[in-house]
């Protein structure tokens, strides 16, 4: 059954942003253990995806079908309308629920291939891509963009209208230009111009780090929902708490240290199951660093974690760090 994004955003207006190297299956699963927020996959290059999907029917199988707790949007990036539409069609065959088109990534390696936010410099090509992807699938298709290429070309309202006219069902706008990268402050007020120009749901993104910033962002942007990225590093529970705050006004605290310890261990278990022990241990280190950065002795702990230690040694160090922090808090 097709997902109705208009209804979904009313029920839960807080989404997890697509983040390369972060929003893989284990992390998305951690987030949805706390609530049924819509989560987005990492950005996937459409050309590589088409090759993999055509040559290996099992590829992405775990990524797509392990969605026990809530909806997942699969993000694709590229510059060729035919390849983008082919990727969308193949993903639908694999059981994807929502397709998201990336026109916001400011990374140099993406932009130099004329994908991501580079498409905001060529609205004709952007239109062709949107039109092709929407035609290729019956799934709801969404679009993520920035305010524009630079301060002189803030054309997000125009691109949003093109997107709506060509079948896009929801738009997410990061409140910076491509040239800003992640510098400066997200301009939530400018997002309201996008909202004024379309009837489909608009989601605001950028600099949402706490309850109050979430509320201010919604007010200034007049958006229907918010998308949160870096503020979820080491805090997979954060989205569900933001949802409760925006919907009910409750300010739920972070889990206590004992619960956080088990959350970290659970995340590592998922990483090892998904990637295998060697790669899983290596990829989990950045997440462990984010989880533990505010704890006493975390600097020395990270030095040990980033050394070549076994999974058993890593688990013991995590137990020791959290137990010490709990004892210190109780003293």
- The CATH number covering residue 86 comes to 3.20.20.70
Residue 161: is its pLDDT beyond 80?
yes
% of the chain at pLDDT higher than 90: 79
Clarify whether residues 219 and 320 are in a common domain: no
pLDDT of 162 reads 98
Average of pLDDT values for 209-237? 98
Residue 67: is its pLDDT beyond 60?
no
Average of pLDDT values for 87-113? 92
Clarify whether residues 144 and 163 are in a common domain: yes
Lookup: tokens for 301: 């702990």
Q: Whole-angstrom Cα distance, residue 189 to residue 175?
A: 8
Clarify whether residues 175 and 293 are in a common domain: no
3-state secondary structure of 231: helix
Q: Supply the CATH number for residue 310's domain.
A: 1.10.1200
Residue 153: is its pLDDT beyond 90?
yes
Clarify whether residues 148 and 218 are in a common domain: yes
pLDDT of 24 reads 94
Closest CA to 174 of 202, 215, 138: 202
Clarify whether residues 236 and 263 are in a common domain: no
H/E element, 314: helix 311-330
Clarify whether residues 214 and 278 are in a common domain: no
Closest CA to 228 of 35, 2, 4, 26: 35
Query: Exposure string (b/e) for 259-291, b if CB count within 10 Å is 16 or more?
Result: ebbebbbebbebbbebbeeeebbebbbebbbbb
HSE-up (13 A, CA, CB side) for residue 228:
28
Clarify whether residues 177 and 133 are in a common domain: yes
More reliable by pLDDT, 54 or 256: 256
pLDDT of 62 reads 59
**Strand runs (DSSP E) across the chain, as ranges?**
14-16, 39-40, 44-45, 72-77, 98-103, 141-145, 170-174, 202-205, 225-228
Catalytic residue among 105, 217, 232, 281: 105
Domain count, the chain: 2
Q: Whole-angstrom Cα distance, residue 113 to residue 108?
A: 9
Q: Whole-angstrom Cα distance, residue 328 to residue 324?
A: 6
Band (pLDDT 50/70/90 cuts) for residue 259 is: very high
Residue 195: is its pLDDT beyond 90?
yes
Clarify whether residues 219 and 299 are in a common domain: no
Backbone φ and ψ for 307, nearest 5 degrees, come out as -75, 165
Domain end position, chosen among 248, 272, 305: 248
Residue 166: is its pLDDT beyond 60?
yes
For the question of residue 217 being annotated catalytic, the response is: no
Domain end position, chosen among 201, 230, 248: 248
Instruction: Determine contact, residues 102/115, Cβ cutoff 8 Å.
Output: yes
Average of pLDDT values for 193-209? 98
Q: Whole-angstrom Cα distance, residue 175 to residue 171?
A: 13
Instruction: Determine contact, residues 243/37, Cβ cutoff 8 Å.
Output: yes
Lookup: tokens for 149: 């290429």
Domain that holds residue 279: 257-330
Burial class of residue 331, CB neighbours in 10 A (0-12, 13-18, 19+): exposed
Which pTM value belongs to this model? Answer: 0.94
Residue 260: is its pLDDT beyond 80?
yes
3-state secondary structure of 45: strand
Instruction: Determine contact, residues 50/83, Cβ cutoff 8 Å.
Output: yes
Band (pLDDT 50/70/90 cuts) for residue 306 is: confident
Residue 65: is its pLDDT beyond 60?
no
Lookup: tokens for 287: 């997440």
Band (pLDDT 50/70/90 cuts) for residue 59 is: low
Average of pLDDT values for 103-112? 93
């Amino acid at each position: 059954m097709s997902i109705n994004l208009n209804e979904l955003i009313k029920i839960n207006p807080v989404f997890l942003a697509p983040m390369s190297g972060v929003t893989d299956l284990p992390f998305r699963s951690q987030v949805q253990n706390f609530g049924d927020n819509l989560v987005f996959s990492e950005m996937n290059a459409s050309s590589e995806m088409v090759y993999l999907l055509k040559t290996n029917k099992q590829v992405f199988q775990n990524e797509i079908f392990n969605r026990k707790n809530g909806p997942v949007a699969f993000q694709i990036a590229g510059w060729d309308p035919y390849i983008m539409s082919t990727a969308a069609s193949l993903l639908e065959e694999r059981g994807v629920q929502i397709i998201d088109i990336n026109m916001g990534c400011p990374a140099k390696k993406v932009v130099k291939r004329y994908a991501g936010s580079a498409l905001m410099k060529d609205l004709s090509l952007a239109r062709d891509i949107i039109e092709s992807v929407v035609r290729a699938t019956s799934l709801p298709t969404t679009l993520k963009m920035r305010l524009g290429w630079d301060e002189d070309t803030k054309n997000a309202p125009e691109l949003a209208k093109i997107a709506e006219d060509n079948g896009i069902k929801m738009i997410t706008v990061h409140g910076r230009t491509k040239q800003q990268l992640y510098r400066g402050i997200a301009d939530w007020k400018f997002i309201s111009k996008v909202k004024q120009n379309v009837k489909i749901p608009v989601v605001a993104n950028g600099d949402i780090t706490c309850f109050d910033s979430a509320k201010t962002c919604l007010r200034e942007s007049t958006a229907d929902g918010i998308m949160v990225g870096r503020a979820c590093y080491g805090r997979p529970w954060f989205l569900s708490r933001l949802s409760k705050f925006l919907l009910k006004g409750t300010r739920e605290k972070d889990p206590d240290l004992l619960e956080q310890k088990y959350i970290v261990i659970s995340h590592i278990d998922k990483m090892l199951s998904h990637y295998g022990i060697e790669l899983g241990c290596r990829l989990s280190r950045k997440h462990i660093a984010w989880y533990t950065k505010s704890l006493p002795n975390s600097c020395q702990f990270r030095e040990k974690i980033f050394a070549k230690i076994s999974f058993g040694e890593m688990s013991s160090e995590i137990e020791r760090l959290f137990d010490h922090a709990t004892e210190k808090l109780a003293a």
